[in-house]
Amino acid sequence: MERKTTQEQFNELVHETMADFDLDSMDEAIEFAASQFTSQNLSLWNIIQDASVVRGEDALTKFSAKYSSQLEKYDPSVDETEFLRQLEQITQLLENSDPKALLAFQDYAASKRVDRIVLEIARRKESTSSILEPSLGFIALCYKGYPDLVSEETIDWLVHLCQPGNGIACTDGCYLHPRVIDILVDCCFKHERNRQSIFAKGAASLIAGRLTTNNEDELIPALKLISALCRDDDVRVEASSAHVHATELAEHLLKPCLSILKDRPGSTSQQTHLLAALASMTVANDLATSIFNEFDFIRFKELLEEHTNKPALLARLFKWLAALGGNDDIRSEMKLLIPSIIQCMYQNEVNGTGTIEPLDSPPHHSCSIKATSVQVKNSFFRHAFLLISILTLRNKENSSMFIENGIIDRILSVITNPLFEKTRNVGCLALRNMASSTKLPKPFEEAGVIDVMNEMLGDKTDCRTVDDCKSVLVALNAPVELQSRWTGERGDIVGANR
């Protein structure tokens, strides 16, 4: 477990060092204190090594000292102008921090109870636009990437704000809840407890009320919340509620989402988030069957052909199709889509630089991010290969269609590119399934698959795809060294298979 110190302990050592060694330079004392804690193997990720913080003269400390009494007894006579001035200062402090420093400032703000102070004042003034909007902006910065700081009371209030009639209206006429939902989405990041708490407070009905709107600024955050609640990314939890959440959300929201996709798909951004939400809810055979009965597969073909050069959207569509392909009956019908899938594969170049529009939210939303084209293409190829592996599983006809259209060379060109190492495992899975289903090693041998697999096995820097490479070689009846993992002990396997 990581060992760390606190900002208070760090500050104390700095002051002691200055007194003991009669130093005039606080920077020198800070450097000495940091070296002392580091020598004790203590992590300093949460420490702000800044003189103003050590002196207690920083904006967060001043804000806390001035308004901490509001937590014990709320004073309605708070000077709004002065509050907003100091709120702007601490917001800029977090906004201007680099990613590593931001974590330390978030931790420091929480230790000073700054987030709770802002929440309390905003809660009391939730009908006042001039207070609520900047307060939510600061709260979003406090919790982004750090969901452990979020309390049950905070989630209660945020969900309350999302209810119709609460909060205030933005200048463009839509309610403020899109920004609030963005905060709730961030609260779900790798945090099972927060997801369960949001879900328990009526998330399904909350989202359902937003699916009837034609305003993308309201609809997209609601779609993002569906995907966030269905995640299973908290490694601290042995058994998450992702499947339960997905099943219950699907019961209320699957048909409305399908209706949106059919009748008012909207912009590329809206369709991307809509497809992600649908994929996250497709977790059971009966749900897949329901979608198959409700949604004409011709529409899938149209989506593929309409968006052949939009990898971010296609990645979500591939993920949804892969979820549907888990149903054997549906998988047999999906062969009609294979030509369109192949076309999409060839429309997207392996190489790419620059940036692509944000994947997670429109630019004006608080948690907007820029994704590089490499990140987008990694997601695109990874989900494409996953879909191919599912469509070719124990299916000779589908496998032959992919092979005849040169998909082997396409997969090899991607997985041998250092930029796309994250696609290797699913790429190997697709190659293995095609080889196993067709029992025709020649196309793979001519493409150089065996040489590529052996080369990857020889790459000692990438141990993650060893088994995947070996499975391809086994499917091709190629020479491969296998080693038993069974040791004879119950539940025990050999850790490495070289």
Least confident of 83-97, 311-325, 480-494: 480-494
> CA-to-CA distance for 100 and 107, rounded, in angstroms?
12
Mean pLDDT value of segment 320-334 = 89
The pTM of the full predicted model, rounded to 2 decimals, is 0.85
State residue 109's pLDDT score. 95
Q: Which of 93-97, 203-207, 290-294, 462-466 has the lowest mean pLDDT?
A: 462-466
Residues in the chain: 498
- Residue 371 CA, chain-centre distance (Å), reads 12
pLDDT at 460: 63
Q: How far apart are CA 324 and CA 170, in angstroms?
A: 39
19-57 pLDDT tens trace: 998 888 899 999 999 999 999 999 999 999 999 999 999
pLDDT at 491: 56
Give the separation between CA 365 and CA 220, rounded to whole angstroms.
10
Question: What average pLDDT does the chain have?
Answer: 87
Residue 364: pLDDT band (50, 70, 90) is very low
Cα dihedral across residues 439, 443, 447, 448: positive or negative: positive
The pLDDT assigned to 217 comes to: 86
- Dig out the tokens for 175 from the structure: 């309610």
Taking residues 130-151, report their average pLDDT: 93
Nearest CA-CA partner of 288 in 319, 317, 320: 320
Confidence (pLDDT) at 371: 53
* pLDDT for position 171: 43
Task: Check residues 372 and 186 and name the one with the higher pLDDT.
Answer: 186
Q: Report, as an integer, the average pLDDT of 449-457.
A: 94
Q: Is 488 exposed, middle or buried (0-12, 13-18, 19+ CB in 10 A)?
A: exposed
Domains belonging to the chain, first-starting first, are 147-295 (1.25.10.10)
pLDDT at 179: 83
Q: How far is CA 33 from CA 16, 20, 30, 44, in A?
A: 9, 12, 5, 11
Q: Tokens in use for 493?
A: 């396997």
> How far is it, in rounded angstroms, from Cα 260 to Cα 246?
18
The answer to whether the CB of 229 falls within 8 A of the CB of 186 is no
At residue 372, φ and ψ (nearest 5 deg) are -70, 160
Give the pLDDT confidence score for residue 87 in this predicted structure: 97
| The pLDDT value given to residue 173 | 47
Closest C-alpha to 414, from 393, 390, 431: 431
Taking residues 69-86, report their average pLDDT.
Answer: 89
CA dist., res. 26 & res. 32, Å (int): 10
Mean pLDDT for 238-255 is 91
Across the range 154-181, mean pLDDT stands at: 72
Give the position of tokens 């004042």: 121
Number of Cβ within 10 Å of residue 27's Cβ equals 13
The DSSP code sequence of 223-273 is: HHHHHHHT----TT-SS-SHHHHHHHHHHHHHHHHHHHHHH---SHHHHHH
Task: Give 48's DSSP letter.
Answer: -
